Amino acid sequence: MGFPQLPQEVEALLGLLGYGAGVEEPGEVLCQVNTKEFGALDNLHRGSINVKWTVISPCSPEFDNHLFCFVHFQRHLVQEINPETNTVRTDDGTEISYEYLIVALGLPEGFEHPKIGSNYSVQTVEKTWKALQDFKEGNAVFTFPNTPVKCAGAPQKIMYLSDAYLRKMGKRAKANVIYNTSLPVIFGVKKYADSLWEIVKKRDLQINLRHNLIEVRADKQEAVFENLGKPGETKVIEYEMLHVTLPMGPSSVIKGSPLADEIGWLDLNKETLQHTKYPSVFGIGDCTNLPTSKTGAAVTAHYNTVILAEFDYNGQPLETFPFNQAKERQLMYHMKADVMPHLYWHGLLRGLWGGPGPYRKIMHLGMK
């Protein structure tokens, strides 16, 4: 399927689904854009064209500061996408037409599932911190569900951070730190998994593979896990602290539309990010069926050191720096804590940062 030729007048609709502040009616902006100065369009069309960019998202007005001046904000939730008629319907019933659509609906959490503390929601992240502060003795349990999740390293990162905090507060000797994951491996890329096994052994962290959380008995402070390797077998663990990574899945907007694959993800060509059936639809991020980990961050965090895992579609390491990134380093901590936020807010969102590829080539003398 070829890349479509942009007409002289094109309305590009960027659909985003998230959680944010109230609705505000921004003014519509239609302006001349020189695509030679706007990299996102430069590969599509040369010269000066009229473009109307519309973003649908309920996010806070402060987000405006990180986008180009010509972006038109619709602060609503997306309810339906109809690729047959090239329209998007929002939660207030508004129907918006498009010539080209970029879908970035993310990965919704399953909030209907039981939870004690979870860093995946603004409603529950403070409960994690409170549980950690109030910890006295017993089991600190961390979970990874039997579904894809956004930022698959996060359930482990909070475990490592909690371990470091308990050591700092002199409570680690009275704590059993347990990580129960539904996965058959601690990490999907062997190079980094080998390093992680060394770390958990050194820090006396208990890892239980193929254990999926199915019930929380909050009144008894018990978590029930099913053993996926032995169907029907369950295990009950008492906890003093429980961090739950919520089950997640495809967006209902995509899952119930012709855009979905057989599972419910946005069905894309992994090389072009173009929909396999509808050439005017493109996708990015967690809502797609691209063979990527739904993350863009470090694997472990232990106060001032991290492992920075980078790998390709085939799960093979694709590292930017000319040294072994599977080793914990303070430099990688500063990349994660100081450099990456700047790249995200001031580079990626403004279309000025296209990834580490060029820098990787330089650091590896053109060999990668």
Which pLDDT does position 302 carry in this prediction? 66
**pLDDT bucket at 240, cuts 50 / 70 / 90:** very high
Residue 51: is its pLDDT beyond 90? no
Q: What dihedral angle (degrees, nearest 10) is formed by the CA atoms of 232, 238, 243, 244?
A: 30
Which pLDDT does position 92 carry in this prediction? 87
Are residues 184 and 239 both part of a single domain?
A: yes
Q: Name, in order, each residue with C-beta under 8 angstroms of 202's C-beta and a sequence gap of 6 or more.
A: none
Are residues 137 and 218 both part of a single domain?
A: yes
DSSP 348: I
CA nearest to 36, candidates 24, 27, 28, 44: 44
d(CA 224, CA 140): 14
d(CA 110, CA 312): 28
**pLDDT bucket at 58, cuts 50 / 70 / 90:** low
- Picking from 176, 208, 243, the residue at the C-terminal end of a domain is 243
Q: Interior CA angle at 363 toward 358 and 364, to 5°?
A: 100
**pLDDT bucket at 243, cuts 50 / 70 / 90:** very high
Are residues 33 and 129 both part of a single domain?
A: no
- What backbone phi and psi angles, to 5 degrees, belong to 338? -110, -40
Q: Name, in order, each residue with C-beta under 8 angstroms of 341's C-beta and a sequence gap of 6 or more.
A: none
Does any domain span residue 2?
A: no
Which pLDDT does position 76 carry in this prediction? 78
Number of domains comprising the chain: 3
* pTM: predicted TM-score of the whole model, two decimal places: 0.72
Q: Name, in order, each residue with C-beta under 8 angstroms of 339's C-beta and a sequence gap of 6 or more.
A: none
Average predicted confidence (pLDDT) for the chain = 80
Are residues 37 and 57 both part of a single domain?
A: yes
Are residues 235 and 260 both part of a single domain?
A: no
Are residues 145 and 88 both part of a single domain?
A: no
Are residues 65 and 154 both part of a single domain?
A: no
Unique residue bearing structure tokens 């399927």: 1
Are residues 228 and 148 both part of a single domain?
A: yes
- H helix intervals, 174-258: 190-202, 252-255
- Tens of pLDDT, residues 16-37: 333 222 222 222 222 333 333 3
Phi-psi domain of 170 (left: phi exceeds 0; alpha: psi -120 through 50; beta: other): left
Q: Of how many residues is the chain composed?
A: 368
The mean-pLDDT minimum among 63-67, 155-159, 238-242 falls in 63-67
Which pLDDT does position 122 carry in this prediction? 79
Are residues 135 and 217 both part of a single domain?
A: yes
d(CA 52, CA 74): 13
Phi-psi domain of 91 (left: phi exceeds 0; alpha: psi -120 through 50; beta: other): alpha
CA nearest to 320, candidates 367, 366, 359: 359
- Count of CB atoms situated within 10 Å of the CB of 308: 23
List the domain range (segments joined by +) for residue 16. Answer: 9-104+250-287
* 8 Å CB contact between 41 and 6: yes
Paired strand residues for 274: 282
Q: Name, in order, each residue with C-beta under 8 angstroms of 10's C-beta and a sequence gap of 6 or more.
A: 49, 50, 51, 52, 99, 100
- H helix intervals, the chain: 39-42, 125-133, 154-168, 190-202, 252-255, 330-334, 340-343, 357-363
**pLDDT bucket at 144, cuts 50 / 70 / 90:** very high
**pLDDT bucket at 299, cuts 50 / 70 / 90:** low
CATH of the domain at 164: 3.50.50.60
Are residues 281 and 354 both part of a single domain?
A: no
The mean-pLDDT minimum among 7-21, 59-73, 115-129, 294-308 falls in 7-21
Residue 119: is its pLDDT beyond 50? yes
Does any domain span residue 4?
A: no
Residue 260: is its pLDDT beyond 80? yes
Does any domain span residue 295?
A: no
Unique residue bearing structure tokens 């349990």: 141
d(CA 128, CA 114): 14
Which pLDDT does position 251 carry in this prediction? 87
17 versus 324: which is more confidently predicted?
324
E strands of 37-188, at which residues?
48-56, 71-74, 78-82, 87-90, 95-97, 100-104, 138-144, 175-181
Unique residue bearing structure tokens 């855009």: 259
